[in-house]
């Protein structure tokens, strides 16, 4: 063995072996690695389509739609809690303690922020994902707390007042979270949800602070973390709403048919990106005594590459606060806001952007039109599906104003599918807006766009962004169809603002 190790190759053999190694490396880099990339990309897109674009359970009144990735995520979450609960095998007393400890652990992240939007921004998550996580954590907390209380009663423990308060609050919160009920009494459910959250936080603190199985240092660390996050959020709120020598934010409310336009004058300019929104509180006696405590998210329709000191919002009046805004007439009100929140989708490399919207969802894509004109210059096609176009006359006028810009006119095409119309008609004299008296066929539209039929200069689109802001039906249909074109460069983005 020592003789073999002591053998030294002549220099010319080392040179020959090195040359062979370089040639083999170049061959692998040129021929093999591209094949590996192609196969890996194909497998990734196949998995993406299977796991994220295929519905196992379609949307129903009470639940759905569920994809494989969603089911796997929730399954892992349930199994993780079950393992922590049952392993190692506990006694009944230990099981009750573990259930209570896990319930407190799962509910703690839910108190990290006044608004889920702030938490979503801080973690880089979408509003939809954060809401799903919030909902899953709430259901898990309810199940674990139910087990904790049931076992405590079975063990003939005397339930203290705080456990009763927390259990009753979580149970009532679960009832109010039922989707059909929440939609009917949204304003009441939202206020009650916040009040119950305060009761749960207080009751949980009072109960676990005396529990023997809870480490006091861990408890105070969590409380400190929650306090720090709330302090940061409060300081940001003060910074954006106050400025020395400047008045507080003012909301100028303008009625335009069944749509309310709000112009928010800010004391301090802020940078707003396309697709972002703010949470707005308007103080007015006309809106009721508790108007200061009501905060609603509104999408920002104005966009500029620079900081803005004036934000424009369009409000769809349905009920509650938004309906009272419509009835109060035109006036100026004191207002406070938090944000901006939301993720702005990048369009830098896109050659074509298709935006699918229904009804009031058009307001979510308006800022992207300005951004495309100012920065990207890619082609944009808006598909707008409405039941009755006459209800959205102010937004039609706004689109026509956008098309007066010659740059935007060249790259923008708008197709309005108006089910209330009896014939095709063109809007404006620019020739870029067409209406059709029927609902859009999403499959045909996507096929045409991906093949580049609408773009003379491109025979096939190799990088294509699809943005969706609309009804459940539109989003579900689009996701099912979009999975077919992932290998053609299609990227599906759902905007934060959705109608339902």
Tell me the pairing of strands 490-494 and 464-469.
parallel
For residue range 36-67, what is the model confidence (pLDDT) as tens digits?
A: 888 888 888 888 888 888 888 888 777 778 88
For residue 460, the model assigns a pLDDT of 46
Alpha-carbon dihedral angle through residues 474, 260, 398, 375, given to the nearest 10 degrees: -70
**Alpha-carbon Rg of the chain, whole angstroms?**
28
pTM to 2 decimal places: 0.84
For residue 213, the model assigns a pLDDT of 57
For residue range 299-341, what is the model confidence (pLDDT) as tens digits?
A: 888 888 888 989 998 888 777 777 777 777 778 888 899 878 9
Bond before 88 cis per omega within 30 degrees:
yes
Using alpha carbons, select from 409, 408, 410, 345 the residue that is nearest to residue 373. 408
* CA 91 centroid distance within chain: 42
For residue 459, the model assigns a pLDDT of 44
pLDDT mean by block of 10 residues, the chain; 500 residues: 58 80 84 84 83 82 80 91 88 85 85 83 84 88 87 71 82 80 77 84 79 68 84 91 89 83 90 89 77 80 87 82 77 87 79 84 84 74 84 79 70 81 62 79 84 55 68 86 83 78
For residue range 368-398, what is the model confidence (pLDDT) as tens digits?
A: 888 877 766 677 888 888 888 877 878 887 7
């Amino acid at each position: 063995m020592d003789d073999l190790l002591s053998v030294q190759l002549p220099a010319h053999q080392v040179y020959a072996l090195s040359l062979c190694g370089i040639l083999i490396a170049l061959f692998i880099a040129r021929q093999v690695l591209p094949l590996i990339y192609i196969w890996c990309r194909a497998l990734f897109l196949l998995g993406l389509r299977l796991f994220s674009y295929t519905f196992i359970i379609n949307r129903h009144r009470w639940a759905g739609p569920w994809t494989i990735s969603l089911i796997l995520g929730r399954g892992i979450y349930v199994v993780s809690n079950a393992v922590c609960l049952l392993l190692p095998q506990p006694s009944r007393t230990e099981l009750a303690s573990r259930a209570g400890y896990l319930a407190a652990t799962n509910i703690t992240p839910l108190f990290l922020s006044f608004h889920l939007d702030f938490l979503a921004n801080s973690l880089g998550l979408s509003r939809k994902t954060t809401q799903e996580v919030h909902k899953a954590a709430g259901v898990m907390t309810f199940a674990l707390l139910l087990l904790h209380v049931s076992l405590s009663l079975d063990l003939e423990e005397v339930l203290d007042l705080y456990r009763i308060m927390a259990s009753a609050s979580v149970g009532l919160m679960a009832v109010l979270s039922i989707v059909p009920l929440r939609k009917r009494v949204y304003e009441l459910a939202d206020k009650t949800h916040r009040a119950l959250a305060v009761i749960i936080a207080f009751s949980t603190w009072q109960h676990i602070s005396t529990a023997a199985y809870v480490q006091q240092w861990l408890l105070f660390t969590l409380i400190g973390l929650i306090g720090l996050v709330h302090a940061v959020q409060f300081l940001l709120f003060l910074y954006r709403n106050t400025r020395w020598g400047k008045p507080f934010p003012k909301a100028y409310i303008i009625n335009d048919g069944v749509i309310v336009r709000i112009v928010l004058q800010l004391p301090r300019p802020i940078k707003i990106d396309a697709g972002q929104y703010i949470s707005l509180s308007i103080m007015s006696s006309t809106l009721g005594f508790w108007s200061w405590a009501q905060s609603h998210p509104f999408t920002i329709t104005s966009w500029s590459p620079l900081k803005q000191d004036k934000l424009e919002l369009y409000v769809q009046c349905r009920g509650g606060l938004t309906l009272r805004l419509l009835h109060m007439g035109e006036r100026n009100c004191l207002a406070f806001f938090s944000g901006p929140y939301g993720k702005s989708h990048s369009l830098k490399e896109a050659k074509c952007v298709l935006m699918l919207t229904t009804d009031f969802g058009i307001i979510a894509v308006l800022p992207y039109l300005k951004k495309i004109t100012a920065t990207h210059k890619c082609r944009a096609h808006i598909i707008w599906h409405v039941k009755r176009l006459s209800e959205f006359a102010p937004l039609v006028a706004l689109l026509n104003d956008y098309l007066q810009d010659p740059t935007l006119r060249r790259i923008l095409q708008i197709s309005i599918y108006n089910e209330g119309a009896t014939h095709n008609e063109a809007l404006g004299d620019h020739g870029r807006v067409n209406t059709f008296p029927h609902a859009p066929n999403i499959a045909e539209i996507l096929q045409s766009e991906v093949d580049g039929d609408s773009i003379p200069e491109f025979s096939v689109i190799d990088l294509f962004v699809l943005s969706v802001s609309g009804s459940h039906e539109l989003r579900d249909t689009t996701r099912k169809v979009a999975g077919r074109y992932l290998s053609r460069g299609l990227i599906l983005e759902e905007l934060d603002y959705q109608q339902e």
